[in-house]
Structures are given as structure tokens and as C-alpha cells.
Amino acid sequence: MHSVIQHYTSSPSFTDELKKRMKDLESDVSSVPGFIAFYCLKTADGGVIVTVCDERFGCDEATRRTANFIKKNLPNLKFSTPQTLGGEVSFKFANYKTTKV
């Protein structure tokens, strides 16, 4: 399993605007082979996107699709190039019974 984290800054409304188009983004990104999950976190200065896929290729493709989607659908938002971290997931645990998003 592989994960990529992208931190977008300089646009406090980033996640609000992205959420308005969430269904279209979900349709595009979730069709990537090996896709597992996509999380968007709101921060004071923008947002963080976490993508999880079976393989690095999937994360690379999902990241490319997300960047293209943002460029095409949120052209008026001005933010710096996202700081990107990625790597193989060492371990995980979760409690999906309590999700309220």
C-alpha cells in the first residue's frame, strides 16, 4: 500500500471550493486502478490531501488527476505549489464504525 500527502497553502477557501465539486473529483480519482481512499483536511491556510492506493503508480495517477482537476475547476484560487510527501505505508489501523464525514 502506498500513500501521498499534499499540502496546499495560501488559499484558506481551498477545501471549501474543492468540496463543492467533490462528486466530480470522486468520480475521476476513484476510477484509478488500485485506488483505496482519498481524504481532504481543512487547514488555516489551505488544505491537505491524502491519497492511498495499492501501488505507487495509483498514487501517482490519482495525484496527477487531482492536480488537473484543481487546475481546470478551481482556476481562480491562488495557492503555492503543494508540498508533497509519499511513501509505502508501514502499518495501519482504523475504526470505520465511527466515521461522521
Model confidence pLDDT, tens digit, residues 19-38: 999 999 999 999 999 999 99
In a domain, 96, yes or no: no
Q: What's the pLDDT score for residue 99?
A: 61
Q: Which of 58, 72, 8 has its CA nearest to residue 29?
A: 58
In a domain, 93, yes or no: no
For residue 100, name the pLDDT band (cuts at 50, 70, 90).
low
CATH at residue 10: 3.30.70.100
pTM for this model (two decimals): 0.89
In terms of residue numbers, what domain contains 31? Answer: 2-87
In a domain, 18, yes or no: yes
Query: Mean pLDDT throughout 53-77?
Result: 94
Q: What's the pLDDT score for residue 93?
A: 87
